[in-house]
Structure 1
Amino acid sequence: MKKIIGSILLLLPLVIFGNDISVATPQELEQAVKKANPGDRITITNAGIWKDVSLKIRGRGTAQQPIVITTNDDAPLFIENKSSLSIAGEHLHLKNFYFRKGHAAKNSVITFRISDDLANHCTIENFVIDHYNKPNRFDNDNWVVLWGRHNRIAGCTFDGKINAGPVLIVELNDERSQKNFHLIEKNHFKNRYRLGSNGGETIRIGVSRYSMHDSNTQLTNNFFEHCSGETEIVSIKSGTNYIAGNYFFECEGSLVLRHGDNNVVDGNIFDGNFQKETGGVRMVNSGHVIKNNMFKNLRGKGFRSPLTIMNGVPNSLINRYMPVKDVKIDHNTFVNSESLVFGGGKDNERTVAPENIRFENNTFAQYGNKWYLNNNEKGILLANNDTSDIFQDVQVNSDSFGSTLVSKNVQADAYASTKHIIRNTEELYDAIQHAHAYDTLFLQSDQLIFGLEKPLLITKPLIITGNQKYTFVSNADKTLPAFIVIANNGSLHVENIYFLGTYESYGNVRSGINTDIDGVLQRYTLKVKNCTFTDFNESTFAGIKAEKASFADSLQIENCVFYNISGTGIAYNAEREDKGIYNVENVWIKDCIFSNILNSAIDIYRGGNDESTTGPFVEIYHCTFNEVDNKEQGAAIRLIGPQYIRFQNNNVYQSGQGGRSIECREFRYHDILIENSNFFESGKIETFYPQNSGGNSGEKPILMEFKALNKQLPKSFKINQIIGSHELI
């Protein structure tokens, strides 16, 4: 017996610890894992940088003896260019990989699958994926795709997903991946920027086709910061998931129980910090439990309210809206937020009221209107809810989430902008190429005309202005796409420029300001003040426009003149596939004049009935429209699909006479207000819901026609009497 025990003790260290194996290249790593025995530890020495690698890590450890793949001293292994990682096998534990400066080689950065071989009981820990985006906004990819069962994503950071596709997906499209019990814990998801389209989720668990299957995924103790890609921050499309202990900070959207039954949302914090469109939980389907959560300082309404219980569709298809029933909502705290919505999205399709909803023992603090009951035919029970205005706040340390490879609490140096004095065209081109972000290019020259032979390409945030108004003209033999083109990483603030689209015998210019024809990956901002746009003399030309696959976070136009244009004044209408995609989120136009324009003065387009976004937001104040788009069935101001419109204190004179002064094509829940404006000898105002508020009346569509509401403008009024010369503004 002593000899047997001694033999076991001699073998025990080898059984528990395995071998230490060192590798230095991707090929050595793949071979080492393939040959490794349970308990082996594989260390990447002098990790450094690997470029253009498609790693396939396949091996088999055991629960007691996983195979560990890591780096020396937990240093990051940087992976760059077109690279990817695929994992398959059992009980593999990978640590310290850092993806940056590139994009996925195929459709995913990290996949828990190699061909038909899935990963089970595998972990990635302390990983970073940092702004690892494909070059086009709608080149779809996913950063992490989970297949198999019992896999774990822990202590990772996912930062800066810009293009289409979720950051993380849990797939159920395989019987071996259902009832998977994956664990996603202690990660930091940050800066999932607005996509302006569906497909901008941060996490999706399941898919509508398999949504009646259980996933059993646990999403716990993660930090979601500025995850605002679309309405659904986390989209649950499966059953029996557990979402607990997560912290959502300044996220424009909601945790959405979109498909699937019996999900539990427990002990999460939704902190909007008073930012617009920040929401909490929205639910469809049955059997959910929402408990012990805190919803505070949220400013989202409707689909993004702190809590939205949706109406259902009778005999709903699996990918629409199953009725909500048998839901328990208890012991939650609602603090200083917008109203809750019971019966959300009620329309001619979604008519089935929530049923057997028990809303009990919840606390409201610093609250006005607590809830909005839109449909209570089958029973929403409200009981024992406290309105004492007393609550205990919870503090969260964000440093406890995410990868240790990312420095914590380090603030970027403030931008030190420089003012460049520009005296001629050559200096302007040179300054744009060599200036730093946020520099000012200040035109100060005796020559009032700057002749351009090619567009000014903006690839960083810049300011272009001058001590007086200067004129941009073309000196090129061929047509230029624009005087100024905003490309990747670019944003622009421009003042005091006269954009003259036709000059002497030189080539035409298609627009004053445009985006890159190849698309712009990053969202950008454009501010235009005290500028004039004239003589863009083809129907497809425009003063300011955007191309497909570009997205402006904000467009501000102030005190500008658009006149003698054969195309459109401002055209953000390039996304025409009617998939809910659009070119700009926030539009603010004030104190501008639009005159003698063949097409629309302003054309903002968002087509389709997709509900995954809340934009665009369009505000137009104190503008004058004169002789704009009088073609048959034309529209002087065309706002197709913006979900928020404010058109106030404007003058519309002899415009839209062949059709409409204003054309809106809104949905029932859109917020539209047209008021305090003068319409003289102009076309009708056409809206689908005519009450000027986009509310829920359900009335039939009516065309509103306002003529001569206030004849403040004389019949002989002409815009050139106001403009005079281009130096006026």
Structure 2
Amino acid sequence: MMLLQTPAFRVSLVSLLLTALPVFAKNYHVQTMAEYQTVVPQLQPGDSLILRNGVWNDVNLIFKGKGTASSPIYLKAETPGQVVLSGQSSLRLSGHYLIVDGLLFKDGFSPRSAVIEFRENDDALAFNSRVTNTVIDNFSNPDKQESDYWVAMYGKHNRLDHSHFIGKKNKGVTIAVRLSGEASQQNYHRIDHNYFGYRPVFGSNGGETLRIGTSHYSLSDSFTHVENNYFDRTNGEVEIISVKSGSNVLRGNVFYEARGTLTLRHGNNNLVENNIFLGNSKDHTGGIRVINKGQVVRNNYLQGLTGHRFGSGFAVMNGVPDSPINRYHRVEDATISNNSFVDVDHIQLAVGSDAERTATPISSTFADNLIVNHNDTSPFSLFDDVSGIKFVNNVANTSVPAALSRGTQTQPVHLEQHSNGLFYPRLANQDIGVARDLKVIDKAETGVSWYSKDYPVIAFDTGKTIAVEANYEALERAIDDADAGDILEISAGNLTVPSVIYLSKPLTIQAAKNANVSITFERSTLFEIQNGGSLKLSNLQISGEKSPDTHSNSVVRTQKWGMTDNYRFEIHNSHISNLDINHSFQFFASGKGAFADHIIISNTKFERISGHILQLDNEHEDLGIYNAEYVTVTNSQFTDVAGTIATLYRGGTDESTFGPHFTLEGNQIKRVGTGKRNKTEASVLLHGVQMSSITGNIFEACQPIVIRHTVAEPQTKIINNQFKNTASPDITELNSASPHTAIIRNNKVL
């Protein structure tokens, strides 16, 4: 049938097209804040406000307007990645149908509570708006304990996508969905195809990568969708994603070597499906933790996860009876189905059971799941009654606890790698575990195309080797000229250092092959590790004999305050002596707020030290903050040390971290801890350390090992040591009336 095109019809059609298309849309190019502020009030649907390439320093951008679904208003970079917002800069959106595209935040921090906010203020929010193709790189407040967000989502129907977030080092959630007010609840936000890069271990609570809601609003629904994002070593704390609201969907995300878990912390009726967790057996890599009502966890693939307890590969928690809104609600009506657990060390049920958390899971189902461990060890741990979880049609290749056996078939399982890179069984029943068409999003499909996704931590000994003469001027020049990861090899000789050596990049300083290098120093410290710096020492003889006659000298220290970057320190095959010119001469002293990813001492001899070897106890507020994640001391000798080998302190009752970790193995320890100024009265003091292993050491005429357990089920092992004229270890449970939980065996007290 032919449509009759009358003149009136043609006029109406033209009018329709004119209203549908932004024919009068304008492009405004601006290069100053004055120009920007002049243009913003003029913006109409379809317009684009384009920032000229360059560095925009100390700018507070407010982007507001009323676009439409067909004609949004744009804030764009002239060239994506070449508009750099630095210094104290921030961005706020308010209005409707706004799109931000192509910005880069680096070399600064926000003076506000967030770098990007989907609101101008409490009364002016953003709706149906979008931030895309944008990067925030290490835009961290220089006060590590000053909390902020990088993106705070308010309003409704907003989207954060194809953006890149890496290196948040100060306290606070990277991305926060805020439900503070009815206008931000039931929001239907989308967070998709983003790249969440390395977030270093924070060393206390407050290091989540994504949080949806807060406990105060946790009984409200958010309806936020978190889909197809890539979490690459997001190691801030025990919760990578913290869901604190209801009716959210978390789907198709990849967690790569990420410490912590996707935690359904508060809120009900959330859906977790089609996610991939690849731990590659890295420490504390976790999966999913279930709390609250109506949670659905299905078709997730979890492999190579080592985490335990709250950071397990999979955990179902106990709750608190009649729980207040901010504690732990009972798990009820959970459906856990068609998940694949491959080489997952720990699947823990009723975890957290204690005098407070006594409400066991009820009315829940664990069905059609595949559990395969190639080490022939069952991953299951039951901490309370799990009869409220019905087990149906699961398959495992290892034995399972009797309470689970009726619904779990034990049989050999042969796995084959499928085209998506995941492993599937050759089973007659193909409905066990994840679907074979499960899509694994590639890292390249997330974030932006114009910014590197490389791992930012430069390892020791990965650069060039530089020969250095044994004099201070040559060493100073070499340090200035070296690149991160380089090795400085000092020729044979006696080297006196008149000034503090400041390190702001990772370097190795060592003696040349077969060279005898002796170092003395004339300042209160020899090396100071600053932001960006890390230090490895090897095959050196260091003496404190020329140091000033003052107390509290050190061989190595961090900057005294204000560090935001994590550092690493190692010393190998060296000899440290005569740190006794005055009292409290430490070998290594941490500044307040400094945090070490690891400290390693191996095959090194220490003698005549008037202070501590490792002084790591500068956080006394008892807020779960500490100074080092891994401390490892092996195959070394300690003689006449007035203080401790290590004073490692983590106070408080917070359960959001995995560390500290401490290892003392194969050392000879003689007359350590006996100085009159050693207030610890210990040769080793560990307070609140989560994982300790003290094995194969010989203590002679020393003060005892003193260990104080606090919270989070610390694991302490003291095995195969000799204590000659030394008291047995002193272990105290500070927050429990029960006997201590340390494993102590095969030690000799002589």
CA, structure 1 residues 410+13, in 2 after alignment: closer, same or farther (shift >3 Å)? farther
Give, in whole Å, the separation in 2 of the partners of 1:700 and 1:454: 51
Task: Give the percent of matched residue pairs that are identical in Structure 1 and Structure 2.
Answer: 31
Task: Letter of the 1:398 partner, please give it.
Answer: K
Give, in whole Å, the separation in 2 of the partners of 1:106 and 1:651: 54
CA, structure 1 residues 469+140, in 2 after alignment: closer, same or farther (shift >3 Å)? farther
1:539 Cα shift?
5.3
Q: Deviations over 1:389-426 (max 9, x none)?
A: 55752544221111233257899999541313222122
1:364 Cα shift?
2.4
Task: Letter of the 2:498 partner, please give it.
Answer: E
CA contact (8 A) 1:257 1:284 kept: yes
CA contact (8 A) 1:313 1:323 kept: yes
- Which of 185, 203, 207 is the matching residue for 1:200? 207
Give, in whole Å, the separation in 2 of the partners of 1:74 and 1:677: 60
Q: Deviations over 1:347-380 (max 9, x none)?
A: 2322221122210111223454142222125511
CA, structure 1 residues 698+331, in 2 after alignment: closer, same or farther (shift >3 Å)? farther
- Which of 368, 375, 382 is the matching residue for 2:384? 375
CA contact (8 A) 2:728 2:749 kept: no
CA contact (8 A) 2:306 2:346 kept: no
CA, structure 1 residues 318+493, in 2 after alignment: closer, same or farther (shift >3 Å)? same
Does residue 600 (structure 1) correspond to residue 644 (structure 2)? The answer is yes
- Name the counterpart of 1:100: 106
Which moves more between the two structures, 678-687 or 203-212? 678-687
CA contact (8 A) 1:76 1:405 kept: no
Which moves more between the two structures, 429-438 or 548-557? 429-438
CA contact (8 A) 1:298 1:306 kept: yes
CA contact (8 A) 2:64 2:93 kept: yes
CA, structure 1 residues 546+633, in 2 after alignment: closer, same or farther (shift >3 Å)? closer
- Which of 2, 6, 9 is the matching residue for 2:7? 2
Name the SS for the 1:429 alignment partner.
Answer: helix
Q: How does 1:97-136 map to 2 (within 5 A)?
A: 97-115=103-121, 116-136=123-143
Does residue 452 (structure 1) correspond to residue 497 (structure 2)? The answer is yes
Structure-1-length-normalised TM-score: 0.89
Give, in whole Å, the separation in 1 of the partners of 2:707 and 2:748: 18
- Name the counterpart of 2:629: 585
Give, in whole Å, the separation in 2 of the partners of 1:705 and 1:273: 31
1:617 Cα shift?
1.6
Task: Letter of the 1:483 partner, please give it.
Answer: L
- Name the counterpart of 1:307: 314
- Name the counterpart of 1:159: 166
Q: How does 1:265-414 map to 2 (within 5 A)?
A: 265-366=272-373, 368-376=377-385, 378-387=387-396, 388-390=413-415, 392=418, 393=422, 395-406=440-451
Q: Deviations over 1:68-112 (max 9, x none)?
A: 232446564222222111111111111111112222233311011
- Name the counterpart of 1:430: 477
Name the SS for the 2:748 alignment partner.
Answer: coil
Which moves more between the two structures, 154-163 or 224-233? 154-163
Q: Deviations over 1:456-487 (max 9, x none)?
A: 111111111224454443435xxx2x211111
- Name the counterpart of 2:407: none
Give, in whole Å, the separation in 1 of the partners of 2:745 and 2:310: 33
CA RMSD of aligned residues (A): 2.9
CA, structure 1 residues 71+509, in 2 after alignment: closer, same or farther (shift >3 Å)? closer
CA contact (8 A) 2:331 2:360 kept: yes
Name the SS for the 2:613 alignment partner.
Answer: strand
Does residue 700 (structure 1) correspond to residue 727 (structure 2)? The answer is no
Which moves more between the two structures, 515-524 or 499-508? 499-508
Task: Letter of the 1:42 partner, please give it.
Answer: S
1:209 Cα shift?
1.6
Q: Deviations over 1:634-666 (max 9, x none)?
A: 11111112211110111111212xxx3332425
CA, structure 1 residues 148+508, in 2 after alignment: closer, same or farther (shift >3 Å)? same
Task: Letter of the 1:179 partner, please give it.
Answer: Q
CA contact (8 A) 1:295 1:333 kept: yes
1:710 Cα shift?
5.3
Give, in whole Å, the separation in 1 of the partners of 2:10 and 2:270: 50
CA contact (8 A) 2:717 2:742 kept: no
- Name the counterpart of 1:28: 35
CA contact (8 A) 1:683 1:707 kept: no
Give, in whole Å, the separation in 2 of the partners of 1:285 and 1:710: 49
Task: Letter of the 1:120 partner, please give it.
Answer: F
Give, in whole Å, the separation in 2 of the partners of 1:410 and 1:606: 28
Give, in whole Å, the separation in 1 of the partners of 2:745 and 2:378: 35
CA contact (8 A) 1:685 1:705 kept: no
Does residue 575 (structure 1) correspond to residue 619 (structure 2)? The answer is yes
CA contact (8 A) 1:54 1:105 kept: no
Give, in whole Å, the separation in 1 of the partners of 2:743 and 2:485: 46
CA, structure 1 residues 8+552, in 2 after alignment: closer, same or farther (shift >3 Å)? same
Task: Letter of the 1:437 partner, please give it.
Answer: A
Which moves more between the two structures, 661-670 or 252-261? 661-670
Task: Letter of the 1:510 partner, please give it.
Answer: N
- Name the counterpart of 2:88: 82
Does residue 146 (structure 1) correspond to residue 185 (structure 2)? The answer is no
Which moves more between the two structures, 310-319 or 188-197? 310-319
CA, structure 1 residues 420+374, in 2 after alignment: closer, same or farther (shift >3 Å)? same
Q: How does 1:706-717 map to 2 (within 5 A)?
A: 709=748, 711=750
1:382 Cα shift?
0.7
- Name the counterpart of 1:473: 520
Task: Letter of the 1:526 partner, please give it.
Answer: F
- Which of 691, 701, 713 is the matching residue for 1:669? 713
CA contact (8 A) 1:475 1:507 kept: no
Task: Letter of the 1:208 partner, please give it.
Answer: S
CA, structure 1 residues 277+537, in 2 after alignment: closer, same or farther (shift >3 Å)? same
CA, structure 1 residues 170+503, in 2 after alignment: closer, same or farther (shift >3 Å)? same
CA, structure 1 residues 181+539, in 2 after alignment: closer, same or farther (shift >3 Å)? farther
- Name the counterpart of 2:468: 421
Give, in whole Å, the separation in 2 of the partners of 1:585 and 1:266: 32
Task: Letter of the 1:589 partner, please give it.
Answer: V
- Name the counterpart of 2:425: none
- Name the counterpart of 2:256: 249
CA, structure 1 residues 698+376, in 2 after alignment: closer, same or farther (shift >3 Å)? farther
Give, in whole Å, the separation in 1 of the partners of 2:744 and 2:81: 68
1:163 Cα shift?
2.1
1:135 Cα shift?
2.5
CA contact (8 A) 2:662 2:689 kept: yes
Does residue 91 (structure 1) correspond to residue 91 (structure 2)? The answer is no
Give, in whole Å, the separation in 2 of the partners of 1:241 and 1:710: 57
Name the SS for the 1:635 alignment partner.
Answer: coil
Give, in whole Å, the separation in 1 of the partners of 2:414 and 2:697: 43
1:54 Cα shift?
0.9
Does residue 609 (structure 1) correspond to residue 656 (structure 2)? The answer is no
Give, in whole Å, the separation in 2 of the partners of 1:704 and 1:363: 33
Which moves more between the two structures, 491-500 or 385-394? 385-394
| Structure 1: unaligned runs, 5 residues or longer | 712-729
CA contact (8 A) 2:550 2:582 kept: no
- Name the counterpart of 2:406: none
Name the SS for the 2:395 alignment partner.
Answer: coil
Does residue 174 (structure 1) correspond to residue 178 (structure 2)? The answer is no
- Name the counterpart of 2:428: none
